[in-house]
Each structure stands twice: as C-alpha cells, then as structure tokens.
C-alpha cells in the first residue's frame, strides 16, 4: 500500500494499522493477561514478547506513511509492554530486520537479490535474523527489555530511540525569541 501521505486513503491507513499495529496488540494482549494471572497466582513467569518493527518505524520511509507509523507504534508498544510487564517476569523487545521476503524481493529487487555466487554470504537471507530471535526468546535474555534491535546480515545494532537532546530555558511569551532558541537547539542537536 505504498502511497504518498497526501494521496493515502483512510481505508488504506486503517488496513495497515489493523495488520501491523493491531496485529501485535491482539496477540500480545492475551499472552500478557495469561502471564499476569500466572504471576498473581504465585507461579514463576519467564516469558518473552518479541515484536517486529522495521527501519521505516525507526526512521520513517517516504511513500509509506501508514506503514512507518504502524511500525513506529510497535516500537512504542514494545516500550510500554516492557515497562508494564517486567514485574510479572515478562520482557518485551522488538527487532527491525532487513531481510529478503516475498514483499521486499518485489519492492527492493536490486537490494534484496541473492548473491550470484552460491558460496557467498547472503546478507539479506532471513536466516541471519533467526539467531537474534532465538536468543531474545531464551532465558539468557531475561535482563534485556524495552530494546529495539536492528539486524542486517551480520550487523546488529541496538536502536537509541527518542531521548531529550539539548535543552535551554526559553521565553514563553515572545514567539520571535522562542524561534531563536529553537534554531540554537536544532543546531546543537
């Protein structure tokens, strides 16, 4: 459903949100209620939520306003899940994989193409993402929560999301002076 924001329909927006953001909510919500009930009953819970976001959710993507917003929403959902469910023994993290799928093969054909040499490392093989997912689902990851991991080939990074940057006191009654402060802060950032 790639479409420039000004051309997107409300139906396209709603469908994208339903698949990506609501899809993550509905499955995890039932699991979270189950784990909460187990913890309240005195059982030890060691559970994992691993959400799937995208580079589009981290940085935005031209022509993909709904997809980018949904994937960004998944990141925010992950942060809330981590904060709310930690007391029950549940971690929540997200992955932003870059890998070949049926969709990416069509949309990004050149980038996603498999190497011509069958013995060469295939940077876009989905197999490259699996070890991270397996580790995040393991007991070894119990101390890691509220994180977003970007994985492409053998490159793994942890996203450093929104955080406060440069700060300065500002005059609240003069928009012209406020503009000067904003310009200075943007330059510092």
Positions annotated as catalytic residues are: 54, 67, 71
CB–CB of 20/71 below 8 Å? yes
CA distance 93 to 78: 6
At 146, give phi and psi (nearest 5°).
75, 25
Look at residue 143 and give its three-state secondary structure.
coil
Angstrom CA distances, 104 to 12, 93, 97, 138, stand at: 19, 23, 11, 28
């Amino acid at each position: 459903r790639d479409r420039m924001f000004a051309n997107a329909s409300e139906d396209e927006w709603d469908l994208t949100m339903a698949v990506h953001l609501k899809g993550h909510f509905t499955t995890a919500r039932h699991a979270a209620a189950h784990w909460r009930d187990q913890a309240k009953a005195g059982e030890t819970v060691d559970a994992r939520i691993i959400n799937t976001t995208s580079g589009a959710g981290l940085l935005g993507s031209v022509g993909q306003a709904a997809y980018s917003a949904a994937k960004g929403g998944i990141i925010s959902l992950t942060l809330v899940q981590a904060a709310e469910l930690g007391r029950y023994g549940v971690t929540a993290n997200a992955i932003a994989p870059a890998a070949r799928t049926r969709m990416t093969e069509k949309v990004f054909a050149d980038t996603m193409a498999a190497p011509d040499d069958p013995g060469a490392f295939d940077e876009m093989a989905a197999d490259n993402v699996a070890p991270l997912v397996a580790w995040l689902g393991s007991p070894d990851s119990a101390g890691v929560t509220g994180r977003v991991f970007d994985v492409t080939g053998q490159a793994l990074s942890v996203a450093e999301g929104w955080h406060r940057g440069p700060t300065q006191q500002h005059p609240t009654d003069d928009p012209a002076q406020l503009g000067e402060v904003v310009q200075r802060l943007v330059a510092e950032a």
